[in-house]
Amino acid sequence: MAADQRGKAATLALRRRLLSSSCRLFFPEDPIKIVRGQGQYMYDEQGAEYIDCINNVAHVGHCHPLVVQAAHEQNQVLNTNSRYLHDNIVDYAQRLSKTLPEKLCVFYFLNSGSEANDLALRLARQYTGHWDVVVLDHAYHGHLSSLIDISPYKFRDLDGQKEWVHVAPLPDTYRGPYREDHPNPAVAYASEVKRVVSSAQEKGRKIAAFFAESLPSVGGQIIPPAGYFPEVAGHIRRAGGVFVADEIQVGFGRVGKHFWAFQLQGEDFVPDIVTMGKSIGNGHPVACVATTQAVARAFEATGVEYFNTFGGSPVSCAVGLAVLDVLEKEQLQAHAACVGSFLMELLGQQKAKHPILGDIRGVGLFIGVDLIKDEATRMPATEEADYVVSRLKENYILLSTDGPGRNVLKFKPPMCFSLENARHVVAKLDAILTGEPGGQGAADNVLESSLESQPPSMPRDRRLIAEPDVF
């Protein structure tokens, strides 16, 4: 029996029997069975189309034909490890180097974001001769033991903070200690890092690295104030450590204005190590660490080989090259800037109408909508956020929440997400928040126009509109 002919209930029963429940499903009460993806859309076993607003792995679009073709063609010829000379790996390193500041000129190829961050940790420790790490509160950097230890998002629910890990506050100007009315939140939040470093040093600890996502995502789609990273890097480097920018969620043009999100922090800011994953391979397991000659030389000086069986294979590099080609050819970085600012504008209009929309923040196609109980306390509207997400799902729009209060709707769709998609999603959100019967009015008009442009195979009766409800 072909896998996609099995009924949803049968798949769920098999999954429950054979897979650990630690491997969670989206929408556990009514999971979706997805059998096909194309562009910014995913299709269930009945053929219903969902707009994917969260998959930043399918960066240039689900199953992009040029990426699929590149993998297929290279698979037909050769796929082996990187111990042989091959042009794909050097071509790919060269292409990546053109996107980065000149100093970041040595590359390691791996298979996952976690592997990349684990290697970054090894590089930092080897280079500095120090052991400790400063991280941002609520951060997530991967699922390996080493990374759970530097991910407050995880270790708080496990065996807690190790003595070599030091946590600085999220540079969150909406909920943190220094807010939008502070004269210089970048310096104020960086001083918090300095304080954390000094207190570690007083205990005799030595800082190897500061790890941060260039835009913290699980922390609640946070946009650190510009100038924060250079200030932090100053404090960390004076303590003998290095700055690691985790671009696993936010790199490769997502922020629109720049190719890398750390570049939002200032033209001259250069991290010592940059880690890449997710979007880099459009779904194929590819990851990369870029660093400076100095850091790489220190690692080489151990004399120990770095070998990674699949990392940098000819197929992985062909895929990585194809992703860069598509980004260029389809001008997706500029597209992200344009669609992202349009989406921000539409969401901003909704904020004036719905007091539950506390803060709309974002850059390019990385946007967070912070739902609050009331403006005075900014208390997270967690249940309401859950409700909105489940209603959007009923409307065939896939979104999820994040942030410490799990109240931030996060938008990080494939980069081909369109103006029309933005209009449609916001119209649906408006209808849900207004509690309009059937989401009529502007919402329906947009829905109708977007249905006109759907492939005829799309069952229109599957695109139901939200039931009435009011916040």
Ligand X SMILES: Cc1ncc(COP(=O)(O)O)c(C=O)c1O
Chain contacts with ligand X (rule: CB under 6 A): 112-114, 117, 140-143, 213, 217, 246, 248-249, 277
Q: Which is nearer to ligand X, 217 or 407 (CB)?
A: 217
Query: Do the Cβ atoms of 236 and 209 come closer than 8 Å?
Result: yes
Structure tokens given for 419:
């103006």
Q: Report d(CA 446, CA 423) in Å as an integer.
A: 7
Q: Report d(CA 319, CA 282) in Å as an integer.
A: 8
Q: How far is the CB of 355 from ligand X (least distance, A)?
A: 31
Q: How far is the CB of 424 from ligand X (least distance, A)?
A: 27
Q: Report d(CA 340, CA 343) in Å as an integer.
A: 5
Q: How far is the CB of 103 from ligand X (least distance, A)?
A: 22
Integer CA distances (angstroms), 457 to 38, 46, 229, 355, 454, in order:
14, 11, 49, 39, 8
Q: Which is nearer to ligand X, 123 or 357 (CB)?
A: 123
Where do we find the tokens 């000129």? 105
Q: Which is nearer to ligand X, 166 or 278 (CB)?
A: 278
DSSP designation for 467: P
Q: Which is nearer to ligand X, 100 or 212 (CB)?
A: 212
Query: Do the Cβ atoms of 338 and 422 come closer than 8 Å?
Result: no
Q: What are phi and psi of 425, to 5 degrees?
A: -65, -45
Q: Which is nearer to ligand X, 101 or 216 (CB)?
A: 216
Q: Which is nearer to ligand X, 67 or 215 (CB)?
A: 215
Q: Which is nearer to ligand X, 140 or 396 (CB)?
A: 140
Structure tokens given for 257:
């204005």
Q: How far is the CB of 273 from ligand X (least distance, A)?
A: 13
Q: How far is the CB of 67 from ligand X (least distance, A)?
A: 17
Which residues are bridge partners to 369 per DSSP?
360, 409
- Comparing C-alpha atoms, which of 316, 251, 246, 309 is closest to residue 279? 251
- The residue number with the shortest CB distance to ligand X is 113
Q: How far is the CB of 383 from ligand X (least distance, A)?
A: 25
Q: How far is the CB of 402 from ligand X (least distance, A)?
A: 10
In 3-state terms, what secondary structure has residue 199?
A: helix
Q: Report d(CA 411, CA 462) in Å as an integer.
A: 23
